[in-house]
Structure 1
Amino acid sequence: MTSIGEALVAQLAERGVKCVFGIPGVHTIELYRGLATSKIRHVTPRHEQGAGFMADGYARVTGKPGAAFVITGPGVTNTLTAMAQARADSVPMLVVSGVNTVPSLGKGLGHLHELPDQRAMVRNVALVSERVERAEDLGPVLDSAFRPFHSGRPGPTHIEIPLDVVGQEGASAHAIADVKIPVPDPDLITQASEMLARAKAPVILTGGGARHASQAIVELAERIGAPVVQTTNARGVAFDHPLGVPVSPSLKAVRELIETADVVLAVGTEFGQTDYDMYATGTQPSMASLIRVDRCAEQLARHPADLAIKGDAVLAMAALVKAQTRPEPADDGEARATRTRGAAFEEIGPEMRSLSGILDAIRDAAPNAIMVGDSAQPIYAGNLYYDHDRPGGWFNAATGFGALGYGIPAAIGAAIGDASARIICITGDGGAQFSLPELMCAVDEKLPITFVVWNNHGYQEIATSMQSVNVEVVGCDPSPPLFEAVAKSCSMPFWKCAPDPELIAAAIKSASGETGPTLIEIEAPNLAHPTHRASS
């Protein structure tokens, strides 16, 4: 007979799960009984938050749900931050946890890892949180947990299995529920195509949901003469293209482009504040005629459009290309894109322009790499203005939920998701200290990741924000470790250089010659703001 824990692992494998990130504990041992005999790879992070971020990075690269096994109580609470980041960025993630025995739940008996109501807590973050209490529950619970990954807006889901249930025998095979990818309505595609055919100044807005439809988006843009604005998670959709606008739509120059368009096609973008109003003006660009393509009905309802098309972006864009009958593109599309890029580059200021140039140098030194970022000065600059050479190859936690400590573990997940890719992780000295122990996971797994630490000895962005509103700078100068010593302790090759594009590019090229993880420290100008320290 097969136990519930063994059957769960077997059914995860049937659903395409190839890797699980997790730290074994007494509340998940029975899951590991099945894992030990399966073909699913297990990766051990150093913290459950790292497990969640690794699952996030894995999912973004593969397009398949990242999976994590965590213990009851602190394992779950440690993973919640990563789940919230995944929810903000529509990343498919499955978290499987233990929970205390069924008779003890909600009783406050002081059991190990006890929470008053673990599922109720997780439900505030996860799209779905289910419990398996009988062998016959397992298949339907898995169907429920996997359903959001294929229809609607993806995000994190959760399954918990009580300690007195996971080892029970009697679990049987389960016919996986049919997955229906949302297909766009042909009549709506025809209407959208006609609107775009008549447009004199069309614009295309792309979000993270559009990154797998890049070829069709570029083809449609060329047919109708539309600049393609790419939010952070859409960078690379139109790399180095005359119609490409790899710039934040929060900038005035991009807002002007959008507001002067007579038809706007928005594909896979939720119009979130961190993309469209990062300066918190309380406004978003006005649009004369908006067509939205999104797989989630709730998202379409939150930001109403003149024409809303519910459907998968890849299918919708292919259909729009096929339906398009426009004989000639708008004759000023490239000119509008060029003007916007130029105005936006001036708008971001000299410091951000310099940092954007450093990113260009890194990209050119490691072509087709996946760049994963934490909240750090170069990442802020890149989210404002940066063109990446790979669709879906630029992502970070400086938008959406904005969790620090994301970069290092997410890069590990990305490297496991695509073993052929070079991974560049860009983090600040502050953010790196949230998840430095995960470097050893990269060492254990022998992953080709170059960790780049932008070391300015503090929280530059926060200090600047404090000063801008006349608040004395407090708590923004945590001392960084000696990163060379960190690298040595992890047996990782190390380079240190000034924030010069040529020097950084040379270090990246050298690091790319290594087969395992490497560390580069960039000696950025130190945090210049005076910081308050209480006298002893």
Structure 2
Amino acid sequence: MTTCGEFLVKQLHAWGVDTVFGIPGVHTIELYRGLPGSGICHVTPRHEQGAGFMADGYARVSGKPGVCFIITGPGMTNIATAMGQAYADSIPMLVISSVNERARLGRGNGYLHELPDQRALVAGVAAFSHTLMSVDELPEVLARAFAVFDGQRPRPVHIELPLDVITAAADHLSVQPRLVAPRPAPQAALIQQAVQRLRKAQRPLLLIGGGCVAQPEAVRRLAETLDAPTALTINAKGLLPAAHPLLIGSNQSLPPVRRLALDADLVLAIGTELGETDYDVVFDGNFRLGGELIRIDIDAAQLQRNHQPVLAIQGDAGLAIEALLEQLPQRICAGRSRGAERVSGVRRQLVEEFSGWAHYRRLFDCILEALPEARFVGDSTQTVYSGNHLVELDGPRRWFNASTGYGTLGYGLPAAIGARLAEPTRPVISLMGDGGIQFTLPELASAVEARVGIIVLLWNNQGYGEIKRYMQRRDITPLGVDIYTPDFLTIARGFGCLAERARDHGHLQSLLREAPSDRPLLIELAEAPPFAP
């Protein structure tokens, strides 16, 4: 007999799933019956939150949904934070969980792992959650999940299998081919209206978000056609090459870029929420647009949030950009827009804004000199905050972190593991702080077990330094921020990792170049000279 759990594994493999993150439990063992020999690699994290973060990092790099097998009850409460991060950043994630038998659902009798309603628990962090009440529903529900990943704003999907369904016979089901749902194309009439407005623009500005991450060539062509200064969100970094003359960077919260936004007579925003953590990290509400706003987004509701457009176009970012390019003459604003000149002026002003960050710039220059192809996966920590402003890379999907949007701690280590599994040939650097790493530190053991070679660059300031400064600026006596900091080097070595404290920049480069490929290397940087003033 082929059980429902076994058939699920076969169907996932047929649809391109090659990695699953999960912790086996008595309620999910039937999912594991079909894994050996299936062609799917199983990675065991040390906490379900780590499973979700790994799946998130895997999805951001591969472009495919990250898949998790999660037990009933505590497994779902543990992964909810990771689903929240993925939901906020539009990351495809498939969470398959067990749930109590159909006759026991919602009874409140104290069954093992019982929750009143798991679907209600994750309703706010999933595109949808479905309880599989019969084996026959499985093909349709899986197809719905992949339709979300392929054809609309991608977000987590949760499917729960009651214990008496997961073990039921599925011999009558056959593996189905994957039908890829098309992404919505923009209305031609709206594209024509946008083109008319763009033709008239004297000082255009492009705001590009993570919704464009799969379209680097189209974004470059659009920027050059419009001769428009281009600002990227954190998740869009790399969509223009680092040295491109139209690249402003990700500095929308700083005065020079804000002045440029006020001066622009037309702003074209594509695949971006125009949200606080990309446009107002100083939290003063002063990112404003002086001219007309055209917005393009796959999510119709998002078109009306934060900044109201004069023209709202729902559609896939790539399809919309191509439609615009088909109707725009080459370099329509060349000469009058002076895009490169405007960007050059902003960059000169930003040099003054970053005058106190020379030590961070030197740090990243040092890293990229040693590992020019590195991918950076970060947490909420000083190296991430500074790098969000300073670092530009040649290619997308090479810089992402949890400091934007949902802003959870502990993300950077497990997400880096998922990223490395998605593309094993590229070096992955996890940017962590001494506070955040303690949320998910045991995932070092997961990486050792899975033979995943990542570099953990640990910025150690002996506590929650950013929050402490925040308290002090508001005349609040610091409390709860000077936390006990353990000996991370000894702990990492105990997990089977290599671990060293970098003495200086030269020593750091040596460590980076000699990092092993089959287990993590933890490098501790003290917030002190030579790495800090």
Q: Distance in 1 between matches of 2:456 and 2:480?
A: 25
Query: Equivalent residue for 2:131?
Result: 131
Query: Equivalent residue for 2:509?
Result: 505
Using the size of structure 2 for normalisation, the TM-score is 0.94
Query: Equivalent residue for 1:533?
Result: none
Q: Distance in 2 between matches of 1:416 and 1:378?
A: 23
The alignment partner of 2:485 has SS state of coil
Compare 478-487 and 390-399 and name the one that shifted more: 478-487
Q: Distance in 1 between matches of 2:283 and 2:331?
A: 41
Query: Equivalent residue for 1:459?
Result: 464
For 1:381, the aligned partner's letter is: S
1:322 deviates by: 2.9
Compare 303-312 and 77-86 and name the one that shifted more: 303-312
**Matches of residues 147-166 of structure 1 in structure 2 within 5 Å?**
147-166=147-166
Q: 1:317 aligns with which of 321, 332, 342?
A: 321
Distance 1:378 1:478, change over 3 A: same
1:286 deviates by: 1.9
1:371 deviates by: 0.4
Cα deviation, 1:406-455, whole Å, max 9, x if unaligned, reads: 00000000001112211111100111111111011111222231111011
Percent identical residues: 46
Query: Equivalent residue for 1:307?
Result: 311
Q: Distance in 2 between matches of 1:508 and 1:190?
A: 51
Q: Distance in 1 between matches of 2:152 and 2:288?
A: 25
Contact 1:58 1:410 survives alignment (8 Å): yes
1:515 deviates by: 4.8
1:384 deviates by: 2.9
For 1:316, the aligned partner's letter is: A
Q: Distance in 2 between matches of 1:192 and 1:506?
A: 52
1:84 deviates by: 0.2
1:86 deviates by: 0.4
The alignment partner of 1:212 has SS state of coil
1:421 aligns with 2:426: yes
For 1:193, the aligned partner's letter is: V
Query: Equivalent residue for 1:233?
Result: 235
Query: Equivalent residue for 1:168?
Result: 168
The alignment partner of 2:215 has SS state of helix
Q: Distance in 2 between matches of 1:326 and 1:373?
A: 38
For 1:324, the aligned partner's letter is: L
Compare 516-525 and 225-234 and name the one that shifted more: 516-525
Q: Distance in 1 between matches of 2:243 and 2:366?
A: 15
1:49 deviates by: 0.3
Using the size of structure 1 for normalisation, the TM-score is 0.93
**Matches of residues 182-197 of structure 1 in structure 2 within 5 Å?**
182-197=184-199
For 1:156, the aligned partner's letter is: P
Q: 1:404 aligns with which of 409, 428, 433?
A: 409
Q: Distance in 2 between matches of 1:178 and 1:376?
A: 38
1:178 deviates by: 4.9
1:287 deviates by: 4.2
**Matches of residues 258-269 of structure 1 in structure 2 within 5 Å?**
258-269=261-272
Q: Distance in 1 between matches of 2:384 and 2:183?
A: 33
Cα deviation, 1:192-241, whole Å, max 9, x if unaligned, reads: 23322322111111111112211121122122211110111111111221
1:174 deviates by: 5.8
Contact 2:14 2:175 survives alignment (8 Å): no
1:346 aligns with 2:348: no
Contact 2:203 2:264 survives alignment (8 Å): yes
Which runs of no fewer than 5 residues in structure 1 stay unpaired?
A: 527-536
The alignment partner of 1:413 has SS state of helix
Cα deviation, 1:483-531, whole Å, max 9, x if unaligned, reads: 2212322332333225x555433432232x65542111112139xxxxx
Distance 1:465 1:349, change over 3 A: farther
Q: Distance in 2 between matches of 1:364 and 1:291?
A: 39
The alignment partner of 1:410 has SS state of helix
The alignment partner of 1:519 has SS state of strand
For 1:205, the aligned partner's letter is: L
Query: Equivalent residue for 2:343?
Result: 337
Query: Equivalent residue for 1:433?
Result: 438
Which runs of no fewer than 5 residues in structure 2 stay unpaired?
A: none
Cα deviation, 1:332-373, whole Å, max 9, x if unaligned, reads: 2112112222323422450x4432432233223211211000
Compare 372-381 and 231-240 and name the one that shifted more: 231-240
Q: 1:254 aligns with which of 252, 257, 263?
A: 257
Cα deviation, 1:450-472, whole Å, max 9, x if unaligned, reads: 11101111110010011111111
1:68 deviates by: 0.5
Contact 2:264 2:289 survives alignment (8 Å): no
Query: Equivalent residue for 1:143?
Result: 143
1:309 deviates by: 2.2
The alignment partner of 2:125 has SS state of coil
1:153 deviates by: 1.6
The alignment partner of 1:35 has SS state of coil
Distance 1:327 1:276, change over 3 A: closer
Q: 1:470 aligns with which of 475, 487, 491?
A: 475
The alignment partner of 1:494 has SS state of strand
Q: Distance in 2 between matches of 1:354 and 1:210?
A: 32
For 1:486, the aligned partner's letter is: I
Query: Equivalent residue for 2:277?
Result: 274
The alignment partner of 2:436 has SS state of helix
The alignment partner of 2:159 has SS state of strand
Q: Distance in 1 between matches of 2:2 and 2:227?
A: 59
Contact 2:448 2:518 survives alignment (8 Å): no
**Matches of residues 113-128 of structure 1 in structure 2 within 5 Å?**
113-128=113-128
Contact 2:452 2:517 survives alignment (8 Å): no
1:331 deviates by: 4.8
